[in-house]
Amino acid sequence: MPYRILLFDCDNTILDFNTAERNAIAQTFADFGIPCSDDILKVYHRYNIKHWELLENKIETRRQCLEKRFAETFLEIGAKGDPVKVNKSYEIYLSRGHWFMPGAEEMLERVSKTHDLYLISNGNQFVQERRFKSSGITKYFKGVFVSEAVGADKPSKEFFDAVISSIPDWNREEALVIGDSLTSDIKGGNNIGADTLWYNPFGLPLRDGFRVNYEISSWDGLWEILR
């Protein structure tokens, strides 16, 4: 059965989150007098991934996730800073501007004419709304779902139940979940019994425990799957 419904992740799938994150961290740390280098950015990135996965697995709350990633970064690099204030500043910078993943905007323009697109994002509502507006991507989607507004995070059943209940004539056999994250996008698709497409532009290894139906490294590969 051909796919009719495409559920797209946003960060590092449609929009280039790594670039946005790097710029926002550099500006935030500068404001607080905290040193910032490529090595320090890697430390932050490691803790950010760690705590988002704890959030996705319901081990931490959203507030714990957002604050602990900075607290543990500061502890490792020997810096002083209030994680609450730093996180607030970071989110303001993160909300400004946007960058697209290569080929993503052209892909949305084309595929939105033939399929029903829905945007599913883990993230802060304040940040994501501004990034969506800046990039203009919401015009391609029939529905936009941000975890903070939904009240549940990917890959939870609660999040996907909210999405599914808003899609007319939902049929999981006609749905494809698309994203870069194994732990939120692919696992979420696995949880609802839908097919999954792993967008993997960075060539990451597939981890055990995830069922991936398709894997592409660029958006050119999507056309062969959908036609």
Q: What is the pLDDT of residues 67-92, one digit of tens each?
A: 999 999 999 999 999 999 999 999 99
| Alpha carbon of residue 46 to chain centroid | 16
pLDDT surpasses 80 at 210: yes
Q: What is residue 227's predicted lDDT score, i.e. its pLDDT?
A: 81
pLDDT surpasses 90 at 1: no
Going by pLDDT thresholds of 50, 70 and 90, the confidence category of residue 147 is very high
Residue 74 in 3-state DSSP? helix
What is the per-residue DSSP string for 78-116?
T----HHHHHHHHHHHHTS---BPTTHHHHHHHHTTTSE
Q: What is the pLDDT of residues 36-63, one digit of tens each?
A: 999 999 999 999 999 999 999 999 999 9
User: What domains are there in the chain, each with its CATH number?
Assistant: 5-16+99-226 (3.40.50.1000), 17-94 (1.10.150.240)
Q: What is the pLDDT of residues 160-186, one digit of tens each?
A: 999 999 999 999 999 999 999 999 999
Catalytic positions, written as ranges? 9
